[in-house]
Amino acid sequence: MVLRVSVGIIGAYSLKYESRSQLEAWDMIRESIKGVLNSVDKGIDPRDIELVIVSNFSDGYGNLLHSGPLAVDYLGNPSAKAFRVENACVSGSTALYIAYNFLKAGLARNALIVGFEKMSTQPSGSAANEILAKAAHPLEIVAGASFAGLYALIAKAYMDKYGLKEEDMALVAVKNHENAVRNPLAQFRRKITIEEVLSSQYVAWPLKLMDSSPLTDGAAALIVSAEPKMYTDTPAYIKGISMAHDKPGVFQREDMAMLRAIKEAADNAYRQAGVTARNINVFEVHDAFTIAEIVIYEMLGLAERGKGASLLKERTVWFDGSHPVNVSGGLKAKGHPIGATGVGMLAEVFWQVRGEAGERQVKDAEIGLVENHGGTGATVVVTILSR
């Protein structure tokens, strides 16, 4: 039986994302839990948190498995039940999806979500090509494909179909780096120019280093409640949350110039929340590579098919535009610590709809959307949060 409860996020915390953290993975978990407990306006007794979900992609990075009981210990509630969830880059939003459904079903009153990844323990070649690449289709893995290579296929298909140029994709990187300057939690707080993007090294034509999200160390945490008003006067309510899947391999898809499951998840989430893209004030989306952000605009209904780049040229999606996207800096410049990524995106929109995002606060943001995906869009979760 699904109860008529309003589930909301009542606390959020994030470590600063960085390239080479001095902290061990377990220290990152502990710090995030301490931070998120302190972030709840009216406070929360750890004994009221019955469910703990740890979002983490690979022990190949942080040298840590079975992190659930560790998180329970750091939380200080030995009766809580815990497990780790792995769903590639969408592990964080998957953790929220599970917590939301536990709470809706009355199986817990409050849940802690903590996401972490310490990617710098590996040289970038093995971090990206050996460990991350395992989240692709088996035939792509056997062929030695990297995610840069797979997104390059998507970019090529899109360029052929719609005439997109490399300088159009570069605008995504320029915008997101500019946004990251306002975000003290971001890995790269540095403006870049189109020329810098275009002259950066190719990692998989037509994508270059500056079209890519980086390898990042980071952790973030949320507390989600079925009784949010007990803990804060201003929760961020989960108005819609939906998961959808596409074929896991890029080569299996009829149209490689789209990310179909994003549209399916977004349409469901909009329906649940009773809104359309036009009503959303702030978006955090999964710009793992610049081409992804352009396709995402279209899948979310912000632009027609083939017209995504026009939103960049018309400044609609810039910080001062009508529909700002990735004001945190996005994966591109804020960073992409896989297991923490979705949790951090949700934290950002939580702060935005509560008016707590400091210099990067979007004026009058009441309703925000997080689009987080894994693989090349094989698993997608779209979440809509509102004051």
347 binds ligand COA (CB under 6 A): no
Question: What residues between 83 and 122 interact with ligand COA by CB under 6 A?
Answer: 89
Is the separation of the CB atoms in 223 and 96 below 8 Å? Answer: no
Token pair listed for 264: 């399916």
In sign, the C-alpha dihedral spanning 134, 137, 141, 142 is positive
Q: Which is nearer to ligand COA, 30 or 336 (CB)?
A: 336
Please state, as a whole number, how many other Cβ atoms lie within 10 Å of the Cβ of residue 205: 12
Query: What's the min distance (Å) between Cβ of 356 and ligand COA?
Result: 27
Mark residues 133-172: x for contact with ligand COA by CB under 6 A, - for none.
Answer: --------------xx------------------------
Mark residues 287-306: x for contact with ligand COA by CB under 6 A, - for none.
Answer: -x------------------
Strand partners, 9: 224, 236
188 binds ligand COA (CB under 6 A): yes
Helix, strand or coil, per DSSP, at residue 145: coil
Among 215, 219, 238, 317, binds ligand COA (CB under 6 A): 215
Output the CA angle 381-383-387, nearest 5 degrees: 170
Strand ranges inside 102-227, DSSP E: 110-118, 202-204, 207-208, 217-225
Is the separation of the CB atoms in 85 and 55 below 8 Å? Answer: yes
Catalytically active residues, by annotation: 89, 336
193 binds ligand COA (CB under 6 A): no
Stretch that binds ligand COA, among 22-30, 209-217, 238-246, 305-313 (CB under 6 A): 209-217
Q: Which is nearer to ligand COA, 157 or 230 (CB)?
A: 157
Is the separation of the CB atoms in 223 and 17 below 8 Å? Answer: no
203 binds ligand COA (CB under 6 A): yes
210 binds ligand COA (CB under 6 A): yes
Mark residues 57-76: x for contact with ligand COA by CB under 6 A, - for none.
Answer: --------------------
- Site of tokens 């997101």: 176
What is the maximum alpha-carbon separation in the chain?
57
Q: Residues interacting with ligand COA, by CB under 6 A? A: 89, 124, 128, 132, 147-148, 188, 203, 209-210, 212-215, 288, 336
